[in-house]
Structure 1
Amino acid sequence: MKNNISKILSIFIAVIALIGAFLFIRIFMTDADDTEALNSAVSSIVSFSTILIYFAIGATVILSLIGLFTNPDNLKKTLLSVAMLGVVLVFAYFLADSEAVLDSQGKVLEGGEAGSSTNQWVGTGIWYSVALGFVASMFFVYDLVKGLIKS
């Protein structure tokens, strides 16, 4: 059974590679002066790539969810981790401000008025990155010290 799946996947990957190669060669065979034909050739490979990335994202999400639900211990750990990330996000949201965004002359930028939710979420993203960077740094130092003690 496992050998059959491997063969099917190999054939599927070969078909995708052949289609991609054909579309790529088609771009080089197109006359550079004919912008409409070149646009069509490039659009087709971009569309193909977009479909492939959506397929890959969908397969990743579905297989990850299947893996989580088949192993309850991992599900519990994952939900705990997501809850911790949510706590850090709430903490970062309350640290962020929504004051006006000024340019170098001191004028308020368009869309950067005081009280804007965009300003609040940008500040939240900055504080969230800082908090996660701090936590990652602490784990790095902890692991380094633990490794030095064991040696």
Structure 2
Amino acid sequence: MNKIIKIVLVVLGALSAILWYQLPGRDVPASEAVESGAMNFMFIITYLLLGFAVVVSLVFTLKNLFANPKSLKKTLMVIGGFIVVVLISYVLASGTDVSIEEMAGRGIETSETTIRRIGTGLNMFFLLVLIAIAAMVMGAFKNMSNK
């Protein structure tokens, strides 16, 4: 299996080097450079490698997660806490922070739902920052009290 992976990586490296030299030069307009077949194939290779890395990472992470029940319980608690933060953020977001008519007057089409989602994201950010600060302060006090 290891030899197969090395062979595939060498082939992909050689193919990428060939495609690199076929890329358009600096004097080619951007509109034409985007249409380059070499560039498209390089993006395809990048997406394939990224997809493979994501799948392998997820498989090994889930395998290790389900192998240890204690870590599974801790992970589920963290996910539950994150869902609670999302729900609190959504409840705190009003959706009326910005005038929809004023946004439409500026050429930005939006709705109350969109404004509420943006508010939810901002509230989540602020709550998670507060939680991170509290965790760092608690950890610092715990370390000081242990010494």
Q: How would you bin the TM-score normalised by the shorter chain?
A: 0.7 to 0.9
Taking the aligned partners of 2:28 and 2:81, their CA distance within structure 1 comes to 56
Indicate the residue corresponding to 1:145 in structure 2: 141
Query: Could you tell which deviates more after superposition, 45-54 or 11-20?
Result: 11-20
Indicate the residue corresponding to 1:46 in structure 2: 43
Taking the aligned partners of 1:22 and 1:81, their CA distance within structure 2 comes to 46
Indicate the residue corresponding to 2:102 in structure 1: 107
Indicate the residue corresponding to 2:113 in structure 1: 117
1:38 and 1:74, CA in 2 relative to 1: closer, same or farther beyond 3 A?
A: same
What is the number of residues matched between the two proteins?
142
Q: 1:88 aligns with which of 81, 85, 89?
A: 85
- Deviation (angstroms), 1:100: 5.8
1:18 and 1:128, CA in 2 relative to 1: closer, same or farther beyond 3 A?
A: same
Q: TM-score, normalised by structure 1?
A: 0.76
Taking the aligned partners of 1:100 and 1:137, their CA distance within structure 2 comes to 27
Task: Give percent identity, aligned residues only.
Answer: 24
- Output aligned runs, 1:49-60, within 5 Å: 49-60=46-57
> 2:138 is matched by which residue type in structure 1?
Y
Taking the aligned partners of 1:107 and 1:26, their CA distance within structure 2 comes to 49
- Deviation (angstroms), 1:108: 2.7
Taking the aligned partners of 1:49 and 1:80, their CA distance within structure 2 comes to 35
Taking the aligned partners of 1:108 and 1:6, their CA distance within structure 2 comes to 57
- Deviation (angstroms), 1:19: 3.0
Q: TM-score, normalised by structure 2?
A: 0.78
Structure 2 unmatched runs, 5+ = none
Structure 1 unmatched runs, 5+ = none
> 2:65 is matched by which residue type in structure 1?
L
8 Å contact from structure 2 (residues 90, 120) kept in 1: yes
Query: Could you tell which deviates more after superposition, 37-46 or 124-133?
Result: 37-46
- Deviation (angstroms), 1:97: 1.4
User: Does residue 129 of structure 2 align to residue 130 of structure 1?
Assistant: no
> 2:109 is matched by which residue type in structure 1?
G
Higher relative contact order (CA 8 A, sep 6+): 2
* Aligned-CA RMSD value: 2.8
